[in-house]
Amino acid sequence: MIRKVVCVWVALVLLFSCLALADECGALLARADSLYDTQNGTFDFVAYQGRLRESIGLYEQGLALVPENALQTRSATLNRLARAYFELAQAYVPTGPDQEAAYVAGKGYALACLRLDPAFVALEATSLRDALSNANDIEAVFWYGNNFGRYLNYHPLEAILGGMRDVPACYERAAELDETYLAAAPLRSLGCFLAQVPSFLGGDVQRSGDLLTRAMEIAPDFLENAVSLAEWVLRPTGETAAYCSTLRDTIALAADPAVMGAWPLYNELALQRAVALASDCR
């Protein structure tokens, strides 16, 4: 009898402990979501850095409490961390060791998310590129490609030895899954990549222009699509008039609060780029 009472007591203690951890995990992730959100309230680019950093810390704390079998929550949290670290590095961290560390963290979280799929793990055992080309989680494969691509800027030898082939594989796969994801992000990222790498590593300026034009058609209010077309295609190919008019149109479009409010962080970054690039225009 005593033994049964003890067993019941232990079971109840474990149950309440699990419930308490679940409540704590949920509260941490909900608070992180609130801080990360750029859509509600007035967006302040400078102030958002603190919110973004705090949200990352809370996501990481929450991730440590997510049960291993809660795959949906674990996947969502890993993907959010992969994206948030990329955005932090792009928007607020200058070139250097801290930026590299952010990209390392971002690609690590994305890869951890991809590895939640046993099929990915099986393919990765023989070829990471094959695994990336057959991944089924569009967020994870896209943010792995974005973080890994920026990470390779710090590791040129790794890029030459195969990394530069893995990055477009991520974007191609993401485009196959949903070319409209995040305002045509797979097309935009692939287009920028193809315009910046030499042809012997797969660069293709003409295809880059086609991809970025398609991205503009899908998401005309995502200003980075047009700015990237101007910077990486129109300027290098000597289309000066089109380059300048595209930048001027983008800056004019940014005067619409509805446009800026659609993608507050990304459109602010794109506007900053457009203004800087337009200084070349007369």
Provide the residue ranges of all domains of the chain, joining segments of one domain with +: 179-282
Lowest mean pLDDT segment, chosen from 6-15, 31-40, 82-91, 126-135: 6-15
What mean pLDDT is predicted for residues 240-265?
96
Confidence at residue 230, expressed as pLDDT on a 0 to 100 scale:
97
pLDDT at 43 over 90: yes
pLDDT at 224 over 80: yes
Distances (CA, A) of 36 to 129, 160, 177, 267: 31, 35, 25, 16
CA distance 112 to 68: 12
Radius of gyration of the chain (CA): 22
Question: Average pLDDT of the chain?
Answer: 92
Q: Residue 1 — pLDDT band, cuts 50, 70, 90? A: low
pLDDT at 111 over 90: yes
Which residue in the block uniquely carries the two structure tokens 């990209």? 103
Q: What percent of the chain has pLDDT over 70?
A: 93
Architecture label for domain 179-282: Alpha Horseshoe (1.25)
Confidence at residue 200, expressed as pLDDT on a 0 to 100 scale:
81
Confidence at residue 109, expressed as pLDDT on a 0 to 100 scale:
98
What mean pLDDT is predicted for residues 163-187?
97
Confidence at residue 198, expressed as pLDDT on a 0 to 100 scale:
85
CA distance 225 to 273: 12
Q: Residue 18 — pLDDT band, cuts 50, 70, 90? A: very low
pTM of the shown model:
0.90
What mean pLDDT is predicted for residues 211-233?
97
Confidence at residue 214, expressed as pLDDT on a 0 to 100 scale:
98
Where are the strands (E) in 32-162, listed by range? Answer: none
Q: Residue 127 — pLDDT band, cuts 50, 70, 90? A: very high
Confidence at residue 203, expressed as pLDDT on a 0 to 100 scale:
85
What mean pLDDT is predicted for residues 73-91?
98
CA distance 19 to 109: 26
Higher pLDDT, 233 or 1: 233
Nearest residue to 174 (alpha-carbon basis) of 161, 160, 189: 189
pLDDT at 175 over 70: yes
Lowest mean pLDDT segment, chosen from 7-16, 140-149, 178-187, 233-242: 7-16
* Cβ pair 145, 171 in contact under 8 A: yes
pLDDT at 7 over 80: no
Confidence at residue 16, expressed as pLDDT on a 0 to 100 scale:
36
pLDDT at 129 over 50: yes
Nearest residue to 146 (alpha-carbon basis) of 217, 97, 72, 85: 85
